[in-house]
Amino acid sequence: FFYAFLEATPWLEMRQVPGVQPPVVEAFQGAGGRMSFKWINPREDQVSLRVYAAPEDMDVKQLSEQHLVAIIQPGGESIDTMDPLLALRFMVAASMKKWLVGPEHDGADYLAEKVAALPEKMKNCVQSKEISVVPEPHPEKVLKFYAAAVNAYGEMSAWQTLPVTLAP
């Protein structure tokens, strides 16, 4: 029942809402493709900063969970202060460990797809405002990086194009 309820809400949808303040992000490119991202002064009502990488010729409207490279959480120590995607992943892992029940057991195939879409190599941090990652380069195209702030309801800010790229 729980997963079916969550699936009926807009909590996990990529919804950009004009009232969500865009983030201020410092982005640095280091040696070996290492990227560092620092979220400057996140607002109290924002639980996370999502960082995405996509080929430079891709329309930003096509960004999805599969393009995530990092999630920064200044809080994140409890479900109500976590990024909604990470909160779902945490709940699914706990449910599977305790009862061997996942979203698909409730017929919540969409939620199962959301969890499965999160990249294995995506990094996240808790109680921090910065993270370093080594994204997988695209075999043929330059990657551009984008960020969006997210509140506890899954509402996102407008995309911020970050001043770093990654060559093939």
Q: pLDDT (tens digit, 0 to 9) for every residue of the chain, 168 residues total?
A: 688 888 888 888 889 999 999 999 999 999 999 999 999 999 999 999 999 999 999 999 999 999 999 999 999 888 888 999 999 999 998 888 988 888 888 888 888 998 899 999 999 999 999 999 999 999 999 999 999 999 999 999 999 999 999 999
Superfamily for domain range 2-163: Immunoglobulins (2.60.40.10)
Structure tokens at 157: 């800010």
- ∠15-55-156 over CA atoms, to 5°? 15
pTM to 2 decimal places: 0.92
In the chain, what percentage of residues exceed pLDDT 70? 99
Beta-bridge mates of residue 165: 144
Instruction: Give residue-wise pLDDT tens across range 33-62.
Output: 999 999 999 999 999 999 999 999 999 999
| Residue type for position 165 | T
What is the token pair recorded at 69? 């490279």
Q: In the chain, what are the domain boundaries?
A: 2-163
Distance separating alpha carbons of residues 30 and 134, to the nearest angstrom: 9
CB of 73 within 8 A of CB of 127?
yes
